[in-house]
Structure 1
Amino acid sequence: MGFNYRVDNWFLGFERSIKPKKSGGGSHGFKPGTGITNLKAAGLKKPEVMIKIPKRTGNSSGMKGVKRHLEYISRNGSLELENQDGHKINGTKEIKETLSDWRKFGIPENSPKREALNLVLSMPPGTDPQAVKDAAREFAKEQFNGHQYVFVLHTDEQHPHVHLAVSMRDELGKRMNPRKNDLFHWRVRFAEKMREQGVDCAATKRQHRGKVQKGESAIVRNMQKRGAVSEVQKLQIQELLMAIKDNKRPLHPFLKEHLETKNIIMSEYANLAKELYRAGHKAEAKIISQLNRDVLRAEINTRIQDRFDNVIELVKEHELNR
């Protein structure tokens, strides 16, 4: 088994369960060396690509849901959509024509199932928006061949992003069934397409970087701007208030699993660095060694633990200044 084959299988199949998933397919159709390419980019602190499945609001199933979503991402027809054939779609009339094409695939007007997969592909502020759109086009063409889809570039926020709506059924009527690791594979594929556009970037899991906390979602950030509080935040506030009242630091719910995963990753990085060094790739070995040190030094606190620590620190400062 070659070096890249082994590393790619480990990188692409790694799960939080700390049991690497057997791929059986080598590099899963990715370019050989995908694992090392993304780990090197992460070690060099290159920006991480993001792909998210936004939370559905209201009744978004069936053709009614597809129509509602296309109207939303096109800003009621004011933004130009592009479909799987490269055709440009402008205005509400052409959106209706596109929906008619989707109906030919047997999508019912009302359905208990999700009939469209909605993805958001985004990059950090400062990334060339056209590069994001071009990479998204190539990503969709490769990943969703045989499906109806449309996509549109949004530049109304600091981070350029593309909304991609894909029919769950392909031209043969077969439905997609995306799993958790598929989302990671899509990120790796999107990063590959971004690099082809000349944008240096990475696609790694938080565990690969030793991170515990998830980034705050765009939905939560927008709610905070409006002064609203999500149900999750309400529960976190209640948990924090109870911890402060009892003067007891909240527990890490997955500490054992996180530490086991961290040890596995660090061991893998140590072996990778040694193999790269022995093969004469000293610069790459140095980058992976640095990534290993980053994982070692990474904080393992949860967000609620950090907030508790901050409150306790403020209380101590207040008492000292009395």
Structure 2
Amino acid sequence: MRRRNSPRPNELAAELPPISYVWETPNRRPRRAEWDIPDPAAPGRLTPAMRAKLERIVRRAPEVMVKITGRTKDVAHLKSHLAYITRNGELDAETEQGATLASRSGLKDLQQRWEDDAGLDAKRRRDASLSINIILSMPAGTAAVAVKDSARAFAIETFGYNHDYVFVQHLDNKHPHVHLTVRSLGHDGKRLNPRKADLQAWRERFAGELRLRGIAAEATPRRTRGRVRKPDRGAVLALRKRKISPEVDRLAREEVLSEVRGGRAAKHPWDEQIKSRRDVIRRRYLDYAAELQRSEAPADHELARQVRQFVKDMPAVETRRHALKNEISEFASTRRRGADQSVGKEGREKTRGQEPTR
């Protein structure tokens, strides 16, 4: 006999907050996606779109990359960039009209047109860009044709109605990717100025186009996968590659060295915020795993198991400061071990030198 105050299964589901919290980018979404919209008839339940996204996440579908690599400031800069992405005219470029630019002459016409149009923009600042340069990329092993077709569809949907653009696919490394160069000035007279919310929306759109072509792809923020450390900026990576220590590295290393030498750990409010947010995400995953486990369907039980394993495999919270501190502590420990071994060896040699001869 059920106790009167015992909650029924549908009441338990109704108490669950939306699962979409774990894959949202806070305060950065310009619109609601289909998987953000709960089922009003069954709050707390997974809609088909939510379930499909959850399955892709816990099964670790490849993550798309959509990245702004820079902006061209004048026609000479634009010419240099187009020469780079077309390998000096050896690779074909495609425009928003579907036209193929197969030589340097076609690129020259495009450069001249974009420069002339920029001259007609009376509001253009002297340092305003002629174009915004974007890379759309997928991990190694992804079908190159699907990547190119998805990039074309993405560009048409995102920019085709208002901005001229040209794109080129590169296959000279293990990651199939497309270089997309978009004219900054739109036909409506406004300039393209993407924000973080736009980049996330672009990632989701590119991933959606890939899925339409049979490629499992996702576009989740780092926190969805339990990661908190931001990737280093391109300029920082370039300096490290040249064996130059960036200012950000120097300041962080000095702060961490001070902590290690003083035997103390500085407390930062964002560390607690990161930990708190991660705990909420883990709990949200596990709540839905428990809800799936209450189902009678074997497929739900299997998904619940995968969700729990996904949470278990989440990496430890590590920021750049944490990594530096571990690196410095390990280096100090290695030096101490080396010093101890050197002292021990010196002591043994002295002992052997004092042994009486027989």
1:192-229 CA-to-partner distances (Å, cap 9, x unmatched) read 22223333232211111111112345555554444344
Change (3 A) 1:275 1:67: farther
2:86 corresponds to which of 56, 74, 78: 74
1:61 corresponds to which of 53, 56, 73: 73
Contact map agreement 1:51 1:120 (CA 8 A) in 2 = yes
1:52 corresponds to which of 67, 81, 93: 67
User: Aligned runs of 1:257-272 on 2, under 5 Å?
Assistant: 257-272=273-288
Q: How many residues matched?
A: 308
Contact map agreement 1:13 1:23 (CA 8 A) in 2 = no
1:288 corresponds to which of 307, 318, 322: 307
1:215 maps onto 2:234 in alignment: no
1:42-85 CA-to-partner distances (Å, cap 9, x unmatched) read 312232211111255xxx32545433432332233333211112
Partner of 2:135: 120
Partner of 1:235: 251
Following superposition, the deviation at residue 36 of structure 1 comes to 4.1
Change (3 A) 1:230 1:315: closer
Give the Cα–Cα distance (whole angstroms) in 2 for the partners of residues 140 and 133 of structure 1: 10
Which consecutive residues of structure 2, in runs of 5 or more, have no partner in the other structure? 1-13, 38-46, 341-358
Say what the alpha-carbon RMSD is for the aligned residues.
Answer: 3.5
SS at match of 2:183: strand
Partner of 1:306: 323
1:84 corresponds to which of 92, 96, 109: 96
1:135 maps onto 2:170 in alignment: no
| TM-score of the two chains, using structure 1 as the length reference | 0.79
Give the Cα–Cα distance (whole angstroms) in 2 for the partners of residues 124 and 102 of structure 1: 33
Change (3 A) 1:28 1:289: closer
1:179 maps onto 2:195 in alignment: yes
1:255-286 CA-to-partner distances (Å, cap 9, x unmatched) read 12212322332343234334545484333333
Contact map agreement 2:170 2:177 (CA 8 A) in 1 = yes
Contact map agreement 2:169 2:177 (CA 8 A) in 1 = yes
Contact map agreement 1:115 1:167 (CA 8 A) in 2 = yes
Give the Cα–Cα distance (whole angstroms) in 2 for the partners of residues 148 and 20 of structure 1: 26
Contact map agreement 1:13 1:181 (CA 8 A) in 2 = no
Which consecutive residues of structure 1, in runs of 5 or more, have no partner in the other structure? none
1:14 maps onto 2:25 in alignment: yes
Give the Cα–Cα distance (whole angstroms) in 2 for the partners of residues 179 and 256 of structure 1: 27
Change (3 A) 1:138 1:307: same
| TM-score of the two chains, using structure 2 as the length reference | 0.72
Change (3 A) 1:275 1:153: same
Give the Cα–Cα distance (whole angstroms) in 2 for the partners of residues 153 and 38 of structure 1: 28
Following superposition, the deviation at residue 293 of structure 1 comes to 3.2
Give the Cα–Cα distance (whole angstroms) in 2 for the partners of residues 90 and 22 of structure 1: 37
Give the Cα–Cα distance (whole angstroms) in 1 for the partners of residues 21 and 296 of structure 2: 20
Change (3 A) 1:54 1:246: farther
Contact map agreement 1:119 1:164 (CA 8 A) in 2 = yes
Following superposition, the deviation at residue 22 of structure 1 comes to 8.4
Change (3 A) 1:273 1:173: farther
SS at match of 1:213: coil
Partner of 2:209: 193
Give the letter for the 2:270 counterpart. F
Deviates more, 1:96-105 or 1:254-263: 96-105
SS at match of 1:86: coil
Q: Is the radius of gyration larger for structure 1 or structure 2? A: 2
